[in-house]
Amino acid sequence: MPFSDYKTALVTGASAGMGEAIVERLCKEGIVVHALARRGDELERLAARTGCIPHVVDVADVNALTEVCRNLPIDILVNNAGVSHPGSILNAEEHYIDTQVDVNLRAVLHLCRLLVPGMMERDCGHVINITSIAAIYNFGGNSIYHATKAGVHALSRQLRVDCYGKRVRITEICPGRVATDIFGNVSGDKEGARRQFIDGFELPEAKDIADTVAFALAAPVAVNIGHIEITPTLQVPGGLSTMRPGDATR
């Protein structure tokens, strides 16, 4: 379905990183983009640069989401907003669970509930869920993040079933490490996080994710690109660990 078949988009987590790049790319394609994020100053600058329509909204606020989506025919929904806190569920704080469930999973469910029925009625639409390789593979720490992203992975597959018979396409994009400020946003130490996770590595950039979104959107109407993993060439997800009884206490 070429871009010319789509007129409007809604992108969450739009004020920085991958969300910002996706908004920029869609605006260049002539799409009217509703950009949602909590940081108003960044959104206003993005709107001035791209012409997008800014909405200062916390996606965890269901009432605010409902108001934004009211009578809003959206052809492209990009669920990009996400938050992460490091650590195992064994030592997680209560608000780590609530925040990640609210932003990473509950908001996606509500936006699909609010917007996908209209796509079905119009027989035209595309939902793009930005998850993570953490939705598919398990590695140390970030237990809650893994669980919420795995939930969106399952939802992405289920949406294909729910939308069966209509020209509503579902794409899940699973990035590995990308050169954005997300690591600094998690730790609060942007410079330290950049040195640890970005400097010296060959990594995809936010623009690469935006180009991938555009690739999925521009596919012919008969083509649904369901699942894409994007990792650095020099990154391998997954792994296998085995220990003898007692090794962990030595």
Catalytic residues: 145
Q: Tell how strand 76-79 and strand 227-230 pair up.
A: unpaired
Cβ burial of 147 (10 Å; 0-12, 13-18, 19+) is middle
| Sign of the CA dihedral with 5 first, then 217, 128, and 197 last | negative
Using CA atoms, how far residue 220 sits from 74, 121, 215, 224, in Å, is 19, 20, 10, 8
Using CA atoms, how far residue 161 sits from 133, 157, 164, 166, in Å, is 22, 7, 5, 10
Cβ burial of 223 (10 Å; 0-12, 13-18, 19+) is exposed
Please choose, from the candidates 228, 101, 108, the residue with its C-alpha nearest in 3D space to the C-alpha of residue 175.
228
